[in-house]
Amino acid sequence: MGADSLASFARWRAPETILQLAQLAVLRRPASAPDIAQLTATFPTLAERLHWVNAPQIEISSHQIRADLATGHSVRYFLPPAVLTAVQQWRSGTANMSTQSA
């Protein structure tokens, strides 16, 4: 997840359960600095489950992609072609969401 998503982690559905079941790999975002002290005060196990990922920082997030989709803006250059096709099919109601084996 991006640091912007971590900032809203307390509003997620069942964050305590997520922390019991998963490690959190978090990418730093240029314009986002979550309040780690506040998050660890709320979720004491967060510190041991949080892993910062060193990767190039880019100015795009899933929040922005969803906002662009909602307003009809193109997300063509932000998603791989197969993902873009799946999103378009899902939005049009034509997606086949069944699990396919490789």
The total domain count for the chain is 2
Q: Are residues 68 and 88 in the same domain?
A: yes
Q: Position 37: which residue type?
A: A
**97 within some domain:** no
Cα distances from 60 to residues 37, 64, 81, in angstroms, run 25, 6, 17
Give the residue among 58, 30, 26 at the shortest CA–CA distance from 39: 26
Q: What is the pLDDT along the chain (102 residues), one digit of tens a residue?
A: 888 889 899 999 999 999 999 999 998 877 778 899 999 999 999 999 999 998 777 777 778 888 988 898 888 888 888 988 888 888 887 766 554 444
Q: Are residues 49 and 72 in the same domain?
A: no
Q: Are residues 7 and 47 in the same domain?
A: yes
Can you give the residue range of the structural domain that contains 66?
Answer: 62-92
